[in-house]
Amino acid sequence: MKIAIIGSGIEVFCCGHRLLDLDPKLELHIFDEKAESGMFGEEPGIIKTWPITPITWFGKMYSQMPTEKSSAVRYSWFVKSLSIMLAKRNATFHLKSRVTKIEESNVHFSGAGISGTGKLKFTKIIDLRNKKDEKKWFGMISNEIIEGAIHGIRPDNTIETWSDKEELQGNFIQIMNWYGKNPKSSISERVQLGIETAELSII
């Protein structure tokens, strides 16, 4: 079986891992418009418990590996770890590749590579591209808790904060924007989306 997953985000990589758990022999391709999977761009990483995926899905995260005291994981590092382990499971990544059309069993794409454009045929195509039509949230990384906002403490003791109010005051290490429903439950819901999508696709 040859499966394509289109999109960029934690749900994509969790979907890929779950597919390979269900059928280790399938041929998996991931189409991502970004130049790199993970390590670029931050999104909500607030967690209730750790790990939120099977341990075999992610590799070493060094200083960013959550502990019992952590209430957030650095999203970009976690996604990078998931993608590295997917590559080790022989998944093929088409980075800097924009899918221009899905036609029957074919994925048409343009971007990186020798020719820059192409078409590949698949048994199954899973489209997990996000649409920015949800609420906008403002994120900050700092060394202090900001009252009245959603926050989590990362393994390196920095504090990830999210608010729907742009005018938050403080000394911030990093400022972020994210579109979604609720940063408090986002990462766990996206992991579950990836898992459920894989299970529905393979049946």
DSSP state at residue 72: B
Regarding beta strands 117-121 and 124-127, do their DSSP bridges make them parallel or antiparallel, or are they unpaired?
Answer: unpaired
* For range 164-180, the mean pLDDT: 88
| Count of all residues that appear for the chain in the document | 203
Which of the residue ranges 4-18, 36-50, 68-82, 83-97 would you say has the lowest mean pLDDT? Answer: 36-50
Same domain, 80 and 146: no
Cα–Cα distance, 140 to 120 (Å, whole number): 40
Examine the domain organization and report whether 42 and 97 are in the same domain.
yes
Q: If you average pLDDT over residues 63-86, what whole number do you get?
A: 96
Strand 92-95, strand 172-179: pairing: unpaired
- φ, ψ (nearest 5 deg) of residue 16: -60, -45
**pLDDT digit string, tens, across residues 14-67:** 999 999 999 999 999 999 999 888 877 799 999 999 999 999 999 889 999 999
Judged against a pLDDT cut of 80, whether residue 203 lies above it is answered with no
Number of domains forming the structure of the chain? 2
Asked if 87 and 169 sit in the same domain, the reply is no
What pLDDT is recorded for position 142? 95
The whole-number pLDDT of residue 166 equals 82
CATH number of the domain enclosing 93: 3.50.50.60
Retrieve residue 119's tokens. Answer: 């078409």
Tell me the residue range of the domain where 153 lies.
Answer: 136-179
Tell me the per-residue pLDDT of 112-161, one tens digit each, with 9 for 90 and over.
655 568 899 999 999 999 777 789 999 999 999 888 899 999 999 999 99
Same domain, 170 and 70: no
Q: Is the pLDDT of residue 72 over 90?
A: yes
| 3 state SS of 71 | coil
Q: Are residues 143 and 118 in the same domain?
A: no
Residue 134, pLDDT score: 85
My answer on whether 70 and 169 are in the same domain is no
Residues 140 and 124 both lie in one domain: no
Q: What is the pTM of this model?
A: 0.94
Domain co-membership, 123 together with 198? yes
Sort 148 into a burial class: Cβ within 10 Å, 0-12 / 13-18 / 19+: exposed
Tell me, yes or no, whether 87 and 157 share the same domain.
Answer: no
pLDDT band at 175 (very low <50, low <70, confident <90, very high): very high
Do 203 and 23 contact (CB within 8 A), yes or no?
Answer: no
